[in-house]
Structure 1
């Protein structure tokens, strides 16, 4: 409650704090009055003798004690207005129980926020005032020591890394010297935490020059791997190239530059870029691949232009029967070979689109060439061309068939392309493995091959069993019956 004027007079004239009451009407000299006033103020200050830090009063430029209620409210209102608050601030009225000193009070800051409890002890000001608006604007005098330590402690690298792992507040800016930064990085690596290592590397990337950072990463393999992965994920290609160059990894640097062709859409621009890549310091194998890539794209551009023109003018029958479904540009070498075998088979070796020319230029193996050409020619039902793939002259000038791949694979490809029965049987008979031959003959219904094989083996029992797999009264059934009744065959059983 606020004391009325008579109560104030009684208080000052009969103060319990002073051994001798005084009034403003006393005839003592000025020195005595000052002395008495000092005692009164010191008696009030003694309520908070435990706070040694509050003996010194802090005063603002306006002359008001810093931390007083009036100063706190003014400072809060001023800061809100500065932040751009345009709404009118209505500060809550502060309950005056217990009574608060007036604006010009000389009380210490601590005395404003502690009052005497009924039990004779002291309770905090926040406990004595229940209004939330007062607590909103009243300044906090102290923070818990643990919370303050989060902001003012001088952490070691070990403590910093430990805080990072636990998700607590940390600061890397305090590590200013190169030695401190490297100690922090080594501690992060020792913790085996990829997130912490990456966070420290990001800080080092911002605070160190590239030359110094690259030099220190050279002798830190784990940190280097994390850094390379981070730069790749961020898409900083130029920075990564500088790093690889500094590390002496010229081959990797060249490959990074070579990969830039993936982002180019124009084929002619890509061809010129690949040509410029030929001078990069690739390894021997990589240099060969880049050269093949450039040569292939250059040839594809030529073939595409010629075939597009021929197709539009109707100059080739093959384009009329089998119109092109897609462009050959940027296709792999085997796709290019298949295209060549499909549309340009039989062309002279001197042309770019000749399958033989492509085979020699790009060093395609016999096995790969046979399989690709077989698929293309079988698709066109060109069985003469299929035979020409396997025909070869023997010692005495006779034509025989040889293949770098098993003839069972040839049969599979022919069957997928709906080859005639006679063609399938011809290549089934070239299979050396008897069991595999019979199995495929039965699978593809080439019964003559299976019957003749059992006849050559003189296996009467198996021939009887196989008779049950053919249709009764068919040519195959009659053939088996004739073989079983033949007296010229000496059966094994």
Structure 2
């Protein structure tokens, strides 16, 4: 009996035997796991806020809206519910029956999703009008992160000219873009933006910031020199000029001091080797360095502290603070004394401290000045309470005893006698004062 064409195809495409595999026993379990993963993948396909997609159980029956935490069964439950041969139940209707949800989000929906931190593609906004409406919607909700996210999209999809033109009339978005460009260090686009907006001072400052990327001191110096003519404000122009002059000085000092240190012929460099280069250091650090290594140099040299003070118009208080810290660190007490000694036109000397002698005492103590030095400056503190507090704090007993004596405060002197060592010089001094008949005590 001859076979029909249909029978022949069925014969050649069918078999009573299965091909041998090593996974026969696990085949059903694997397919069930695949079905389970397919169901779980619905969480990624459908947003929590959408109700249009029909959910189904493992038996293929529709179920109600799932909760935010998910209402799918565990794999063990699935294994117990599914008939042996029901490998992959129908999970959902064909794809063609569902809408493309991402293309249906309105501007407000898109912005709302961005605000919630959800993944959201902006590529569907292709026309300039749509992009600008999206930006305006982001600005409306006053969320900086959303505004920045939209600006990043516009920066990538619009030409600079169009982007700058549109942001010029949208100041809030413009400020966010400027901040973003500064944060990511996109100096080129920032310069282009300021140039387009004709904001010359900001353009100059932004260009000046480029010096931070130049490591070579000579090249940085030349770059700073080229910045001097840029349209800065008066204050900023002075700052740039000082920066250039300072770096120029530092280069000269560094070359000279490196030679002195390597030669080993200068005592200060032998006793106190330099810990770092002076290049690119702030002005105050440079002044401290000069007060430490070049304090006695004549004013005509670039490394002289007095030269730095006059060149950069350093205030007296700042100069005294810095010089005091440097000389105290070296325990050069004579230099410290000279720093506060002034002469009037009659030739009389007087101690004067523009920073206040109470601060002088604190700095000296921080640098481990001996008690004799501390006492000398504590005595110069005018306020009595401050003087007593400092003297007590730093155990300058003579100052405390003398102050209570001058105040004619017998009770305080007796009380302080208990705080000094027995049979000490201080105790004997207190006893001598207490026994004096020439003092008219007030208590």
Q: Which residue pairs with 1:478 in the alignment?
A: 428
Shift of 1:152: 6.8
Change (3 A) 1:234 1:442: closer
1:14 aligned partner: none
CA–CA separation in structure 2 for the residues paired with 1:371 and 1:134? 83
After TM superposition, the structure 1 = structure 2 runs for residues 352-367 of structure 1, keeping only pairs within 5 Å, are 352-367=302-317
Q: Structure 2 matches for 1:337-348, cutoff 5 A? A: 337-348=287-298
Moved over 6 A (4+): 130-136
Query: In 2 relative to 1, CA 273–478 (structure 1 residues): closer, same or farther, beyond 3 Å?
Result: same
Q: Is 2:341 the counterpart of 1:391? A: yes
| Residue among 58, 75, 99 paired with 1:148 | 99
SS in 1 for 2:296: coil
- Correspondence for 1:326: 276
Secondary structure class of the residue paired with 1:148: coil
Is 1:266 the equivalent of 2:216? yes
- Give the Cα separation in 2 of the matches to 1:207 and 1:367: 55
Map Cα deviations across residues 49-106 of structure 1 (whole Å, 9 max, x no partner).
xxxxxxxxxxxxxxxxxxxxxxxxxxxxxxxxxxxxxxxxxxxxxxxxxxxxxxxxxx
Q: CA deviation at 1:438?
A: 1.7
1:416 CA drift (Å): 2.3
- Report the Cα offset of residue 270 of structure 1: 1.0
Q: In the aligned structure 1, how far is the partner of 2:276 from the partner of 2:356?
A: 32
Match of 2:417 among 462, 467, 485: 467
CA distance in 2, matches of 1:324, 1:379: 14
Q: What does the per-residue CA deviation read over 1:110-150, in whole Å, with 9 as the maximum and x for residues that have no partner?
A: xxxxxxxxxxxxxxxxxxxx9979999xxx87722xx3353
In the TM superposition, 1:92-241 aligns within 5 A as 143-144=96-97, 147-148=98-99, 150=101, 157-158=107-108, 161=111, 167=118, 172-173=123-124, 175-176=126-127, 178-241=128-191
- Shift of the 357–179 alpha-carbon distance from structure 1 to 2, 3 Å rule, reads same
- What's the TM-score, normalizing by structure 2? 0.74
Give 1:247 shift: 2.0
Is residue 2:242 matched to residue 1:292? yes
Q: Tell me whether 1:255 sits opposite 2:208 in the alignment.
A: no
In structure 2, the partner of 1:431 is 381
Q: Tell me the alpha carbon deviations over residues 245-297 of structure 1, each in whole angstroms, 9 at most, x when there is no partner.
A: 22232222222222222222211111111111112222222221111111111
C-alpha separation in 2, matches of 1:184 and 1:397: 79
Closer/same/farther in 2, CA of residues 240 and 479 from structure 1, 3 Å limit: same
Q: Is structure 2 residue 365 aligned with structure 1 residue 412?
A: no
- Please tell me whether Structure 1 or Structure 2 has the larger radius of gyration of its CA atoms: 1
Residue of structure 1 equivalent to 2:45: none
Shift of residue 192, structure 1, vs aligned partner: 3.7
Q: What residue is the counterpart of 2:69 in the other structure?
A: none
Q: How far apart, in 1, do the equivalents of 2:332 and 2:378 lie?
A: 18
Deviation at 1:230, TM superposition (A): 3.5
Alignment partner, residue 350 of structure 1? 300
- The answer as to 2:443 corresponding to 1:443 is no
Q: Deviations over 1:319-343 (max 9, x none)?
A: 1222222211111111111111111
Q: How many residues align?
A: 360
Cα distance, 1:357 vs. partner? 0.2
Is the 2:103–2:124 contact (alpha carbons within 8 Å) kept by the matching residues of 1?
A: no
> Do the aligned partners of 1:271 and 1:298 also contact (CA within 8 Å) in 2?
yes
Cα displacement string for residues 18-50 of structure 1 (whole angstroms, at most 9, x for unaligned residues):
xxxxxxxxxxxxxxxxxxxxxxxxxxxxxxxxx
Alpha-carbon RMSD across the aligned residues, in angstroms, is 2.9
For the residue of structure 2 that corresponds to 1:440, the secondary structure is helix
CA gap of 1:194–1:373, structure 2 versus 1, over 3 A, is closer
Structure 1 residues 150, 276: closer, same or farther in 2, change over 3 A?
A: same
Structure 2: gaps of 5 or more residues: 5-84
TM-score (norm 1): 0.67
Shift of 1:201: 2.9
CA distance in 2, matches of 1:142, 1:473: 102
| d(CA) in 1 for partners of 2:211, 2:168 | 29
- Aligned equivalents of 1:489 and 1:135: distance in 2? 110
Aligned to 1:277: 227
Residue-by-residue CA offset, 1:403-437 (whole Å, 9 max, x unaligned) = 10111111122222232332222111101111221
